[in-house]
Amino acid sequence: MFIVIKGKCSKMDYTPKRRRTHKPEKSALLEAYPHDLQLYKVPPIGQISLVEFQDLALERQKVLQLLELTLAQQHKSIDEIKLAFTSALKKEGYHAYARLVNALGCSSHTDVDLEARRRDHIAHFVLRLAYSLKDDLQNYMLTYETELFKLRFHSLNREGLTQFLATSGLHYSPVSQEFKEQNRENLYMSTAKEGDFENTDFYELPFDKVVDLISDRKVYLHKGIAYVPQNDLITVFLTHFRTNLSIELNKARKFVLNNLDDERLQSFLKSLPECFTGMAKVVWNSQNVPIAKLNDLSKTSYPLCMRIMHEHLTTNHHLKNTGRLQYGLFLKGVGVTLEDSIEFWKSEMTKKEDCNEDKFNKQYLYQIRYNYGKVGRRVDYRPAGCNKLISEPVGPAEVHGCPYKHMDTDELTKKLLECHLPHSDVGEITKLASEGHYILACTRYFESTHKQPPARMFLHPNHYFQESRNILTIDEVKEETAVQDTYMPLSPEKISQSIKVKVENNLDTSNSVTPSRQIEKKVRTLDKKDKMDPTNIEALLNDDSD
């Protein structure tokens, strides 16, 4: 990849062949991107603005997060997955990706198609740089880029598949109709469950490329050649795609660490995976949440993980270090000010006999102020997301982390029943948790406690909280308006004032101070009129993270 940004150059020399990243004429774009799908073997070259560089990376990251959420919903078929994923993409405004997921291959070459292919190509390589730096990030990208490739491959029609084989450099030849007729019986036996044999194409591949298919008796094998039906060809490409991407991620890591000399790009790439770009960016609540409301909110709007920590704190008046960190940052994210946070923790922890105010000030006050960026490194830390909570180890007497992962079935069942969930819902949630579908179990908990699903899927406890407040605020406004209507007619002006007062007082903002960090809700990508200057990268990275 060769990038020129504001006079500085960075180069990634993977291969002699190049694709240019500036926007050339349509004929040049068509030559560079003749197909909707690619294996990303040829890195781009050319000039790209820093704004577009960061915009494409954030967009790609959000797309993979949406795919992760879609796959967590346990759809029964790949068509259902594709339909749900397409709907999620359109809802978030990613129409170009929705188009690519359903593209047939090479049936359309409009300006919109070509621009979508160009952005897809560059975005993949930028994200490859950022996600190459840590093993867990590499594994994440391998998993979800492969799943994205799988969905797009599934959309190809016969012409699209033929052209993809030609442009990918993988020379897998379809068998002739004469060979198909001569070997009809053997070929049919390998595809008996697929149905439409007459319209199924078969491809010749070396047997060592399809060992899994051979072991499952899904292909006809003759003289070292495997004859693979069209529907099973995806297995070959997924293996090839993942293997190639794994190799290239390691190359990208070496490049970033040893050759990338632009400090702005280094900072952006290293910080990008920590950006919480997902799910409407509502990790931060700009309203104040008075601590007097926390007990009630813990029962109505907290995800189970935070409810457990809150109840343990108010019952036992202590949380171990990781629990204090996770719950403290969650409170910060929902809108508890530093002053209120100190008061809350002090009032709870000093109720324990062995902790007086002096001990609290010496042992615990620093961490609270540290979380708010007032001491130490003075970093404005963000609340942990679901992936962090799921992966966090939990030791004896610790109650932090994701309960759907860390609690056994009996313990989780008991806790859910204590939350007054119906037995049928409890069984459903514990089953999802036991099968490893932790986020889906949390979503089901939300549905059970709110009697409706969230407007958007979430990957963050603070987004769960915001979704809950959105629903409950609407319900409370409707109830108040209905009560007022019972006693007296209201003019449109009074109704408007009533709703405004109710929304403003939803979490009691009467005597609070605005939290030190307020972030307006941002759209997921930057419109042309809102494009950032390069100097604002830090602000972008500081938006939301898990």
Q: How far is CA 125 from CA 12, 177, 471, 545, in A?
A: 10, 40, 39, 22
The radius of gyration of the chain's CA atoms, rounded to the nearest angstrom, is: 27
In one-letter notation, the amino acid at residue 18 is: R
What does the block give as tokens for 270? Answer: 């290293």
Number of Cβ atoms within 10 Å of the Cβ of 294: 20
Strand, coil or helix: 303: coil
Q: How many Å separate Cα 150 from the centre of its chain? A: 18
Return the closest-CA partner of residue 414 out of 406, 402, 426, 431.
Answer: 426
User: What would you measure as the largest C-alpha separation in the chain, in angstroms?
Assistant: 89
Residue 11, Cα to own-chain centre: how many angstroms?
A: 29
Q: Could you tell me if 256 and 266 are in contact, meaning their C-beta atoms sit under 8 angstroms apart?
A: yes
Q: What is the DSSP string of 483-544?
A: HHHHHS---HHHHHHHHHHHHHTTT--SSPPPPS-------SS--GGGPPPGGGHHHHHTS-
Could you give the CA distance from residue 9 to residue 2 in angstroms, rounded to a whole number?
7
Q: Which amino acid is at 399?
A: V
- Is residue 402 part of an annotated ligand binding site? yes
Q: In the chain, how many H helices and how many E strands?
A: 26, 8
Distance, CA of 366 to CA of 386 (rounded, Å)? 26
What strands, in cross-sheet order, belong to the sheet with 225-229? 173-174, 202-206, 225-229, 220-222
Residue 106 assigned ligand-binding role: no
Q: Are strands 44-47 and 19-20 parallel, antiparallel or unpaired?
A: parallel
- For the record, the structure tokens of 58 come out as 């954030």
Residues in the annotated binding site:
305, 386, 402, 442
Annotated binding-site ranges for [4Fe-4S] cluster: 305, 386, 402, 442
